[in-house]
Structure formats: structure tokens, C-alpha cells
Amino acid sequence: MAEAEKPDADEETSGIGEAPGAGEIGRSRGHGLAIGLAFALLLILDDPAGVATLIAHGGEQAIAVCVGTIVLTFGIGATFTGAIFILTEDR
């Protein structure tokens, strides 16, 4: 029996239905979410602008709304930035 053909090291292999650059966009989104979460937690724990005091007076769901807003903002920004880098990349 013949061995299956192996792709060259230079060729990119992608999964079925996967658009070129989808992995890079996903990684950018993941990095943005992680950085946003770290920033939100640092902002709440360090409390340089009185954010923790405002959240404490905001009610039961205020911390979730604050952290969620910051994390999603960073995630969306990183996703768009990653998409722009991929689209403008010279291949």
C-alpha cells in the first residue's frame, strides 16, 4: 500500500469550512479577552479612580456589568485589529 501524501512544510492546511485567517482572528480575540479581563480586575482591585466604590454602590450585578463591558470591549477591539492585520498582510 502506498503512503498517504504529506503536505509540504510551506503549504498551509486548514480544516473543512475554515476560512483563511480564522485561527489568527480567534487567537486575537482570545488575547483581547484575556487582556480585558486582566485590565478589569486590575482596575477593580487597585481602585485608582474609585471604581470599586462605584461598583459597591451599584447593586448586585454591577461588577458583572462592569467587567463584562470592559472584557467585551477589549475582545471586539482585538478581533477587529487582528482582522485588519490579516487583510492587509502581504502574502
Answering whether pTM is above 0.75, one says: no
Other C-beta atoms closer than 10 Å to the C-beta of 27 total 12
**What is the distance of C-alpha 42 from the center of its chain?**
18
- Compute the average pLDDT of residues 37-41: 91
Q: What is the pLDDT of residue 73?
A: 95
pLDDT tens digits for range 45-74: 888 888 888 888 888 798 889 999 999 999
Compute CA distances 8 → 2, 4, 11, 20, 22, whole Å.
Answer: 17, 13, 5, 18, 21
Count H helices and E strands in the chain, helices first: 3, 0
Pick from 20, 38, 22, 43: nearest CA to 75: 38
pLDDT digits (tens, 9 = 90+) for 2-23: 555 655 555 555 555 566 678 8
